[in-house]
């Protein structure tokens, strides 16, 4: 059997994690007419296919957004869960390095992963274009609606975003009650219980402060921030100004900056200290009681 690059990508994804099910985010059709033509495809080229020694899979032309549920082993299920929002400049989605591989990690610590395939490419992003926010809101509402079925605590569902996905996670936390013109109002809360913002873009405005539409308020959930100083794609100022704004709003936040790491590394191991960020994040999840209270000092 001859594989096209996209079929090969789907085959590799199928072997990386055992998905429970995939649901359309808008089963009755998107709120807005799609401008995307052509089927979903992997735009990865030979020049950017290998990251940290492993194949990277991307997807674009997503006109039918979905969420895919990756449950942890039943014996390890803590009841906690997270939406995972891959990055890709709102042009494509880094679907394994910032998606399925994140699900593998979440499953290993007893969390359910909800991998969101939101619409890309789009003309801009929030606030000029609201389709990305609508997809994230609906993904959260669907997850809470299925919480009992998926063995999830509806009060412990957060969001984890990378790059553009980190920007989308921050938008979701700031505007969970945004009402799209073509969407029926819902009584299900779309606000995440926590957020993890990893090497984000578009948080810093031209004045060197946080973008006004992302100005935090006291309802923003506990936040974990991570970035490298030599991130020349998104730039470390995004994390710095957002952390300061969170601090001003008295939102519990934890910021981790590293000298080296660049951009788009996901969870793939390197020789750099930044590769240990999942351990820091897991400890933080215990600290904010998403995974239960942290162990007492001096005890395992």
Assess if residue 292 is contained within a domain. Answer: no
Dump pLDDT digits (tens) for 176-221: 999 988 898 899 999 999 999 999 999 999 899 999 999 999 999 9
Comparing 10-14, 53-57, 211-215, 283-287, the range with the smallest average pLDDT is 10-14
The encoded tokens of residue 73 equal: 């082993």
- 122 pLDDT band (50/70/90 cuts)? confident
Residue of 281, 283, 285 whose CA lies nearest to 297? 283
According to the model, what pLDDT value does residue 124 have? 87
- Residue 138 is part of a domain; what is its CATH number? 3.40.50.1820
Number of domains present in the structure of the chain = 1
Q: For residue 63, give its domain range.
A: 5-287
> Coil, strand or helix: which one is 52?
coil
Helical (H) or strand (E) element with 108: helix 101-108
Assess if residue 233 is contained within a domain. Answer: yes
Q: What contacts 24+ positions apart, CB below 8 Å, involve 253-256? A: 253/222, 253/223, 253/224, 253/225, 254/223, 254/224, 254/225, 254/284, 255/225, 255/226, 256/224, 256/225, 256/226, 256/227, 256/280
Dump pLDDT digits (tens) for 36-85: 988 999 998 888 898 888 889 999 999 999 999 999 999 999 999 999 99
Cα distances (Å, whole numbers) of residue 157 to 30, 114, 185, 210: 24, 10, 21, 25
Dump pLDDT digits (tens) for 229-269: 999 999 999 999 999 999 999 999 999 999 999 999 999 99
Residue of higher predicted confidence among 108 and 20: 108
Above 50 in pLDDT, residue 12?
A: no
Tell me phi and psi for residue 168, to 5 degrees: -65, -40
Assess if residue 294 is contained within a domain. Answer: no
Assess if residue 300 is contained within a domain. Answer: no
Quickly tell me which residue has 């934890």 as its tokens: 254
Entry pTM: 0.91
Assess if residue 235 is contained within a domain. Answer: yes
Angstrom distance (rounded) from CA 45 to CA 56: 10
The encoded tokens of residue 192 equal: 């995440």
According to the model, what pLDDT value does residue 25 have? 98
The mean pLDDT of the chain is 91
Assess if residue 24 is contained within a domain. Answer: yes
- 299 pLDDT band (50/70/90 cuts)? very low
According to the model, what pLDDT value does residue 182 have? 86
Residue 148: count of CB within 10 angstroms of its CB = 10
Assess if residue 180 is contained within a domain. Answer: yes
Assess if residue 64 is contained within a domain. Answer: yes
Above 80 in pLDDT, residue 4?
A: no
């Amino acid at each position: 059997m001859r594989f096209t690059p996209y079929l090969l990508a789907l085959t590799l994804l199928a072997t990386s994690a055992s998905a429970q099910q995939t649901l359309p985010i808008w089963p009755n059709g998107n709120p807005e007419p799609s401008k995307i033509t052509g089927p979903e495809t992997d735009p990865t080229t030979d020049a950017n296919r290998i990251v940290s020694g492993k194949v990277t899979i991307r997807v674009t032309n997503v006109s039918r957004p979905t969420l895919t549920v990756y449950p942890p082993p039943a014996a390890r299920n803590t009841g906690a869960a997270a939406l995972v929002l891959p990055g890709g400049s709102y042009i494509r989605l880094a679907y394994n390095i910032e998606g399925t591989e994140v699900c593998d990690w979440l499953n290993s610590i007893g969390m359910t992963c909800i991998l969101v395939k939101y619409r890309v490419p789009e003309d801009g992003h929030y606030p000029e274009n609201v389709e990305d926010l609508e997809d994230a809101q609906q993904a959260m509402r669907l997850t809470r609606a299925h919480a009992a079925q998926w063995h999830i605590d509806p009060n412990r569902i957060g969001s984890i975003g990378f790059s553009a996905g980190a920007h989308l996670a921050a938008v979701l936390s700031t505007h969970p009650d945004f009402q799209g013109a073509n969407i029926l109002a819902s009584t299900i809360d779309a606000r995440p219980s926590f957020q993890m913002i990893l090497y984000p873009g578009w948080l810093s405005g031209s004045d060197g402060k946080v973008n006004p539409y992302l100005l935090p308020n006291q309802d923003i959930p506990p936040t974990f921030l991570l970035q490298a100083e030599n991130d020349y794609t998104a730039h470390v100022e995004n994390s710095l100004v957002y952390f300061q704004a969170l601090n001003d709003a008295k939102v519990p936040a934890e910021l981790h900056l590293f000298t080296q790491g660049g951009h788009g590394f996901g969870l793939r191991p390197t020789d750099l200290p930044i590769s240990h960020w999942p351990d820091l994040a897991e400890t933080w999840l215990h600290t904010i009681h998403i995974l239960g209270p942290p162990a007492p000092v001096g005890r395992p």
